[in-house]
Amino acid sequence: MSTTDDSEAVKRYTTKIRRSLNHAVALSLRKDPSSPKSRYIRAVVLVKGVHFYGFHSSYAPFLKVLVADPALGSRVVAMMQNGTIMGTRFTIYESHLNYTLQFLSDFGLYGCGWLELNHIQRRGQDDESFESSEDQNLLPRSPHFRQSRMSLEVDAAAHQILNRQKLVARKWHHKLEIPAPPLPDDPLVLSVRELWEDERHRRHARGLNPSPEMPIDLSGASRAPAGGWLTEARYWDEIRHRIENDRNAIAPSDGAAQTWEGAVMTTFESIEALWEDDYKTWKPCKAEHGPQLELLDDVTEEDRLDDEANIDVDTSFLSVEDLLTEEAADGEADETLVRPFDDTPLEHSQPEPEDEYDEDLDPNCQSDGGSPLLEDEENIELPE
């Protein structure tokens, strides 16, 4: 199969997942799946990464699902894990991460830190008498209205956050090298660097030495060597023996990347997947892999309402609780489904004949909904 055929197969698969997820989420929210407003999945992107668990020495393909509303994240995860989508129980990664913390991590932002932007738009306000006309013309106007009483509100797009440009991806374990290259000296916890930089700026403003004395090293290198084990020499001999045996079992590798790797973003680079081309910094490796491969589903094109072939949802996995979730918040009656999975009306939904003895009912005997109940009336249970 050619590379172009592989690209088309990936696009068909990601498109089917996206449309199936949109369909399932709409049904669980009692919405009309064919409505143009029932678009809950922004895109499904093929990315590459290294498995976190176990020992791995090469990239592996993953699918990154971009949900339009973070509040629906747990709902989408449950559907992909229980087999609702395409009859497959997907293995989910990073679904436990908080959306806000993930956003801060992706763009190099920290609490009480600086947010650097290269372009902003100032939100309009009703009372601008306290500002001069010159101040009003410093920033371009935003089409959105103010949401608070702050003196300044601005709008900015994700690609305008300059803090992300300071982040550098660590390419570890993506290629097998024997012996392994030395580890870089950069710290693993970059948030500590933010504290040191802030302290340097503060000391420089006061005329002090920007680089204060480093604290005393409390690591193992500053302590005296500990005593050895009696069996340590035997254990080291056993480890060396196993290393030599495993070395002979390793297949020779020329270190060349797989053919698909140059056309796929890493998980770090996939933050730019939906950005406009003018703001993307990632470019596919055309020299090694031929023409650029279009692996990103065309999310700008509206889904065909009659395209049922790209929808594979098992509605039996959707529970009654999912259907009743947020029912009270659904204000659009024209898009709300009464029975999304079954056209047969419920028994208790049929209009009951009027009772000629209704006038004799006790007015104090009322149900939660406000309608009178007979003393011996049985509660009707909904079928599960």
Query: Which residue's structure tokens are 């590459």?
Result: 48
Cβ atoms 76, 67 nearer than 8 A: yes
List the 121-124 sheet strands across, edge first. 141-145, 121-124, 154-155
Asked if residue 315 belongs to a domain, the reply is yes
Query: Which residues have C-beta within 8 Å of that of residue 78, sequence separation ≥ 6?
Result: none
Per-residue confidence band for 349, with pLDDT thresholds at 50, 70 and 90: very low
Does some domain include residue 122? no
Q: What is the pLDDT of residue 338?
A: 38
Rounded to 5 degrees, what are φ and ψ at 99? -60, -45
pLDDT band at 161 (very low <50, low <70, confident <90, very high): very high
Question: In the predicted model, what is the mean pLDDT of residues 222-226?
Answer: 69
β-strands 121-124, 154-155 pairing: antiparallel
Of residues 164 and 179, the one with the higher pLDDT is: 164
Say if residue 326's pLDDT is above 50. Answer: no
Q: Is the pLDDT of residue 369 over 80?
A: no
* Omega of the bond leading into 179 within 30 degrees of 0 (cis): yes
Determine the Cα–Cα distance for residues 179 and 227; give it in Å rounded to an integer. Answer: 29
Q: Is residue 127 part of a domain?
A: no
Number of domains in the chain: 1
Residue 383 lies in a domain: no
Q: How far is CA 282 from the centre of its chain?
A: 19
141 within a domain of the structure (yes/no): no
Does residue 153 lie within any of the structural domains?
A: no
Mean of pLDDT values over 201-214: 81
Q: Which two tokens stand for residue 138?
A: 């410093």
C-beta of residue 113 within 8 angstroms of C-beta of residue 194: yes
CA 161/CA 102 separation, integer angstroms: 15
In this structure, what token pair is assigned to residue 120?
């902003």
Q: Which helix (DSSP H) or strand (DSSP E) does residue 15 occupy?
A: helix 3-28
Whether 336 shows a pLDDT value over 80: the answer reads no
Lowest mean pLDDT among 243-257, 260-274, 292-306: 292-306
Question: Rounded distance, CA 270 to CA 64, Å?
Answer: 8
> Taking a C-beta distance cutoff of 8 angstroms, is the pair 297, 18 a contact?
yes
Q: Give domain status of residue 274, yes or no.
A: yes
65 versus 256: the higher-pLDDT residue is: 65
Residue 94 has pLDDT above 60, yes or no: yes
Query: Which domain covers residue 295, as residue numbers?
Result: 1-112+260-342
pTM of the model: 0.67
Q: Which long-range contacts (CB under 8 A, 24 or more apart) does 307-313 make?
A: 307/19, 310/15, 310/16, 310/19, 310/20, 311/16, 311/19, 311/20, 311/23, 312/16, 312/20, 312/85, 312/86, 312/87, 313/20, 313/23, 313/24, 313/27, 313/84, 313/85
How much is the average pLDDT of 339-348? 42
The pLDDT of residue 16 is above 50: yes
Of residues 90 and 324, which shows the higher confidence score?
Answer: 90
Residue 310 lies in a domain: yes
Give CA–CA dist 342/338, Å, rounded: 9
Q: Which two tokens mark 289?
A: 């892999």
pLDDT for the residue numbered 106: 92
pLDDT above 70: residue 297: no
